Amino acid sequence: MIVARITTLALSLLICAFQVDGKLRRFPDGFSFGVATASYQIEGGWNASDKSESIWDTFTHNSNYKILDGSSGDVACDSYHLYKRDVEMVAELGVDFYRFSMSWSRLMPDGYELSKDGVKYYNDLINELLKHKIQPVVTLFHWDLPQWLQQLGGWSNSLTAKHFQRYARSAFELFGDRVKMWLTVNEPQVFCLHGYGKGLKAPGLDMNGFAEYLCGHTMLKAHAKVYHLYDQVFKKKQKGRVGLTLNASWQQASSNSSNDREAAQRVLEFELGWFANPIFSKCGDYPKIMKDRILWKSQEQGYTESRLPIFTKEELEEIKGSYDFFGLNHYTTRMVKEKSNKSVASKPSFSNDVEVDDYFESDWKESASVWLRVVPWGFQKLLNWIKDSYDNPEVIIFENGFSDREGIDDVDRVQYYRDYLNYLLDAIDDGCNVSAYTAWSLMDNFEWNKGYSERFGLYYVDYNSTIKKRTPKASAHYFKNIVKTKSIEKI
Ligand SMILES: *[C@@H]1O[C@H](CO)[C@@H](O)[C@H](O)[C@H]1NC(C)=O
Ligand SMILES: *[C@@H]1O[C@H](CO)[C@@H](O)[C@H](O)[C@H]1NC(C)=O
Ligand SMILES: *[C@@H]1O[C@H](CO)[C@@H](O)[C@H](O)[C@H]1NC(C)=O
Ligand SMILES: *[C@@H]1O[C@H](CO)[C@@H](O)[C@H](O)[C@H]1NC(C)=O
Ligand SMILES: *[C@@H]1O[C@H](CO)[C@@H](O)[C@H](O)[C@H]1NC(C)=O
């Protein structure tokens, strides 16, 4: 009891410390806030009812692949059973929307028939959200492909786009009366690169320089098919919006030399432009530099054609403009310089195709994740790059957050949100059209290869307790106040 009181006192002092001297900055009228999660990272219930296996079930159960702490998402936060508590937390935060994903293998175990229990689970979750006046935002694919589709080649098989369309149609029919914002796929760049290129994530294929491009190719086609399906069949009646969300870091040139600036631009084109150009640019298709370099390298390596697949004219037209907004997940920044000793490596790889040297400045604050350093100003630069490259689309931030190994006194996360949100407001002052912001994540969860060792949550999860007890961290109180006042102290 005393301990709890002291902790509460410490927390309120901490929050006050961040609020004393600042001038307040307001978010624009109509700006909305949300929090996000993903099915495999929170649901558990991996074999509940008639659910089939997803590639993440297969991957974590196979000891050839490495999850840092040997864990899996079998139980995770047990949101399959505890979704009411999740919604209660979202309501406590006072946000406008909750972004979650649907598990394809739970909803449609064999890809054709619907699961009664799967449908019930997502109906219950959506209805519980609406009861609390929280808008559901649904990601259709957040990395947990049904395993049977993987056995047919997964995203390297272009027929997967057809299966995806069938699944999406069911989701629109079942839930579209209540769900008004849909994301087709989450971070295709990370999924394809890590899952098909480097073998780090499910499905664990290391076919670098080939398979990630096949994966991306099918995903773009699948996204566009689903966009047009909604547009043609559902939009008039359901009046919702459809897009996708792309992950990107800011890439800062290490000097003003034209070589280094070109190198930084090249990484942005390869990592964000790979998916953004075909959809958001006026001409469509992959970035020119990507097509040129991969063709040139492929020829040098003795291949008769480019390792990057080519879209047909019809496909290009279908993909171009297939969006109602630009979804962005952003966490960090890297320094980039031209590679010192370039080579056409005999073994193809994505990184040899891009071919730069990159690094973090040593004084950038670390997080629990090796890939995530705290560089708030990069957020403003990236948003301006998107504004200038894609004719100032409406941008919705669908993920932004910080990892630690701490408990509820998460001072560093509070500071991360304060600083990143200030630079977001600077970008809005620059004319960037950002309409909403989503914190990743509602609660600590299964962080892919790092298992439960890295925590991203606004709520702390005690994985040892049978009820997976969730407790608000200092950052939850802090974020709640931003949402309530629609303002933040100036840094
Ligand atoms: C589900 O998996 C758990 C292990 O996570 C196992 O103990 C249980 O028997 C399985 N249930 C069914 C119905 O297969
Ligand atoms: C996001 O994308 C960048 C490249 O733009 C990559 O370096 C980073 O690891 C990715 N991180 C996440 C969490 O998606
Ligand atoms: C590049 O030039 C800008 C303005 O011309 C300057 O502010 C910046 O410090 C320079 N950057 C580097 C790394 O030299
Ligand atoms: C932002 O984008 C939306 C949707 O396209 C548009 O209605 C609005 O006018 C834009 N706002 C600004 C400030 O450009
Ligand atoms: C959870 O249990 C494990 C094993 O008993 C223990 O090592 C760990 O410290 C516990 N974690 C917490 C947060 O209590």
Mutate-to-test residue for ligand 3 from 256, 258, 260, 377, highest number of ligand atoms within 8 A of CB: 256
Which ligand has the nearest atom to the CA of 49?
1
Please give the backbone phi and psi of residue 113, each rounded to the nearest 5 degrees, phi first.
-90, 145
For ligand 3, atom 8, name the residue with the nearest CA.
256
Asked if residues 404 and 412 have their Cβ atoms less than 8 Å apart, the reply is yes
What is the band of 81 on the pLDDT scale with cuts at 50, 70, 90? Answer: very high
Q: Is 257 in the pocket of ligand 3 (CB under 6 A)?
A: no
Question: What per-residue confidence (pLDDT) applies to 379?
Answer: 99
Question: What per-residue confidence (pLDDT) applies to 98?
Answer: 99
For ligand 1, atom 3, name the residue with the nearest CA.
47
Question: What per-residue confidence (pLDDT) applies to 65?
Answer: 82
Question: What per-residue confidence (pLDDT) applies to 152?
Answer: 98
pLDDT exceeds cutoff 50 at 20: no
Return the percent helix, strand and coil in the chain, to nearest 5.
Answer: 45, 15, 40
For residue 271, the ligand 2 atom closest to its alpha carbon is 5
When pLDDT is averaged across residues 465-483 and rounded to a whole number, the result is 98
Pairing of strands 459-461, 365-366: unpaired
Distances (CA, A) of 217 to 77, 304, 314, 448: 33, 19, 14, 24
User: Does residue 92 carry a catalytic annotation?
Assistant: no
What is the band of 63 on the pLDDT scale with cuts at 50, 70, 90? Answer: confident
Asked if residues 264 and 251 have their Cβ atoms less than 8 Å apart, the reply is yes
pLDDT exceeds cutoff 50 at 376: yes
Catalytic entry in 128, 187, 212, 338: 187
Question: What per-residue confidence (pLDDT) applies to 16?
Answer: 47
What proportion of the chain, given as a percentage, has pLDDT over 70? 96
When pLDDT is averaged across residues 5-27 and rounded to a whole number, the result is 61
Query: Rounded to whole angstroms, how far apart are CA atoms 384 and 9?
Result: 40
Which ligand has the nearest atom to the CA of 335?
3
Q: What is the CB < 6 Å shell around ligand 2?
A: 187, 190, 247-249, 271, 331, 371
What is the band of 46 on the pLDDT scale with cuts at 50, 70, 90? Answer: very high
Question: If you average pLDDT over every residue of the chain, what do you get?
Answer: 95
When pLDDT is averaged across residues 108-127 and rounded to a whole number, the result is 98
Query: Rounded to whole angstroms, how far apart are CA atoms 257 and 265?
Result: 12
For ligand 2, atom 7, name the residue with the nearest CA.
249
Window from 6-15, 104-113, 378-387 with minimum mean pLDDT = 6-15
Q: 398 in the Ramachandran plot: left (φ > 0), alpha (ψ -120 to 50) or beta? A: alpha
Please tell me what DSSP assigns to residue 70.
Answer: S
Q: Is 262 in the pocket of ligand 1 (CB under 6 A)?
A: no
Question: What per-residue confidence (pLDDT) applies to 14?
Answer: 53
User: Does residue 399 carry a catalytic annotation?
Assistant: yes
Spell out the domains of the chain, with CATH numbers in brackets: 33-486 (3.20.20.80)
When pLDDT is averaged across residues 27-56 and rounded to a whole number, the result is 98
For ligand 3, atom 13, name the residue with the nearest CA.
255
pLDDT exceeds cutoff 60 at 309: yes
Asked if residues 325 and 241 have their Cβ atoms less than 8 Å apart, the reply is yes
On the question of a cis peptide bond just before residue 278, with omega within 30 degrees of 0, the verdict is: no
Asked if residues 274 and 289 have their Cβ atoms less than 8 Å apart, the reply is no
Query: Rounded to whole angstroms, how far apart are CA atoms 491 and 489?
Result: 6
Contacts of residues 349-353 at CB distance under 8 Å and 24 or more positions apart, as own/partner, are 349/197, 349/208, 349/209, 350/193, 350/197, 350/208, 350/209, 350/212, 350/270, 352/209, 352/297, 353/209, 353/270, 353/290, 353/293, 353/294, 353/297
pLDDT exceeds cutoff 70 at 201: yes
184: which 2 tokens?
């087709």
461: which 2 tokens?
């999860």
pLDDT exceeds cutoff 50 at 171: yes
Give 100's strand partners.
138
252: which 2 tokens?
């800062």
For ligand 1, atom 14, name the residue with the nearest CA.
47
* Three-state SS at 266: helix
For ligand 3, atom 5, name the residue with the nearest CA.
256
Q: Is 343 in the pocket of ligand 3 (CB under 6 A)?
A: no
224-248 confidence digits (pLDDT tens): 999 999 999 999 999 999 999 999 9
What is the band of 12 on the pLDDT scale with cuts at 50, 70, 90? Answer: low
* Three-state SS at 407: coil
Question: What per-residue confidence (pLDDT) applies to 11?
Answer: 54
Question: What per-residue confidence (pLDDT) applies to 22?
Answer: 66
What is the identity of the amino acid at 458?
L
Q: Is 74 in the pocket of ligand 1 (CB under 6 A)?
A: yes
334-353 confidence digits (pLDDT tens): 999 999 988 888 899 999 99
For residue 431, the ligand 4 atom closest to its alpha carbon is 13
* Closest by CA position to 138, among listed 150, 121, 154: 121
Å from CA of 394 to ligand 4 middle: 6
Asked if residues 403 and 363 have their Cβ atoms less than 8 Å apart, the reply is no
Å from CA of 395 to ligand 4 middle: 9
For ligand 4, atom 5, name the residue with the nearest CA.
394
Query: Rounded to whole angstroms, how far apart are CA atoms 18 and 475?
Result: 11
pLDDT exceeds cutoff 60 at 9: no
Q: Is 256 in the pocket of ligand 3 (CB under 6 A)?
A: yes
For residue 255, the ligand 3 atom closest to its alpha carbon is 13
* Closest by CA position to 246, among listed 287, 216, 225, 212: 216
pLDDT exceeds cutoff 70 at 104: yes
What is the identity of the amino acid at 354?
V
Which has the higher per-residue pLDDT, 61 or 10?
61
Å from CA of 351 to ligand 1 middle: 41
Which has the higher per-residue pLDDT, 215 or 63?
215
What is the band of 6 on the pLDDT scale with cuts at 50, 70, 90? Answer: very low
Mutate-to-test residue for ligand 2 from 142, 186, 190, 446, highest number of ligand atoms within 8 A of CB: 190
Window from 2-11, 67-76, 175-184, 375-384 with minimum mean pLDDT = 2-11
Mutate-to-test residue for ligand 1 from 46, 47, 54, highest number of ligand atoms within 8 A of CB: 47
When pLDDT is averaged across residues 122-146 and rounded to a whole number, the result is 99
What is the band of 468 on the pLDDT scale with cuts at 50, 70, 90? Answer: very high
Q: Is 241 in the pocket of ligand 4 (CB under 6 A)?
A: no
Q: Is 433 in the pocket of ligand 4 (CB under 6 A)?
A: yes
